[in-house]
Amino acid sequence: MMQKVWVQDLGNIEYGKAWDLQESLLKQNLEKKSLWFGKSDEERPADIGTKNYLFFCEHPSVYTLGKSGHMENLLVNDSRLKELDVSFYKTNRGGDITYHGPGQVVGYPILDLEKFFTDLGKYMRFLEEVIIRAIAPFGIKGDRLEGSTGVWLDVGTPDARKICAMGVRCSRWVTMHGFALNVNTDLRYFDYIVPCGITDKGVTSIQKEVGHPVDEAEVKQNIRAAFEEVFGAELAENELNELLTVA
């Protein structure tokens, strides 16, 4: 059965506020699932009321460190962070350190994977496939790098570089966090970290690859279309103003 995913663009939002929103919706889904935990298939209704969301947003400049990350991959101290006007968060997502900032399209899917499939590895490959399809219309061939998440270009060559970073959290098959696609991003901010803890490969953006700024709204539309295709889902607009108050 095709699943409905409620989609909303949060615009430019501080990282902590977006994180709080994700946590609140994940908690709501977990509370609904807990009502039926341990029940038999006969007792459990076909729809237990969990909801799927996809948020687009952009963050003011921020470095985020995953739960398995290493602080030494942040190459600047607190005073330098203040000079750069960049905030910093230790997060509960997977992965190491990355940068979010203006010109980047960030996506946060909050999905009940039990409505899709219960395979976290497959989920990550699906997210990668969404981005691979979304950047293809710009003449960019995305690929996967064995042993590393995200979307890469020129894999297997000395010029291998990442265009989209990914890191997620999954609790009882409910996801949060997601992907960060460099569109018109100022890539100089990656010079102050070891992106994703990988020292021998670079970072790129759609703008850098095509040689000019691109329309971020077009990129988001590409992602929406690819998300529907890859996940077999229906994306529907939803007003979540009442939920945004938690952030």
Q: Which residues are annotated as a binding site?
A: 93-100, 165-167, 178-180
DSSP 57: E
Q: Which member of 57, 164, 170, 196 is catalytic?
A: 196
Please enumerate, by residue number, every residue annotated as part of a binding site for substrate. 93-100, 165-167, 178-180
**Among candidate residues 14, 17, 148, the one with its CA nearest the CA of residue 94:** 148
Distance of CA 72 to the CA centre of its chain: 23
Q: Are 53 and 22 in contact (CB under 8 A)?
A: no
Residue 246, both tokens: 């938690």
Specify the amino acid at residue 84.
Answer: L
E-assigned strand segments in 13-111:
52-58, 62-65, 87-90, 97-100, 104-110
196 is catalytic: yes
Looking at the annotation, which residues are catalytic? 196
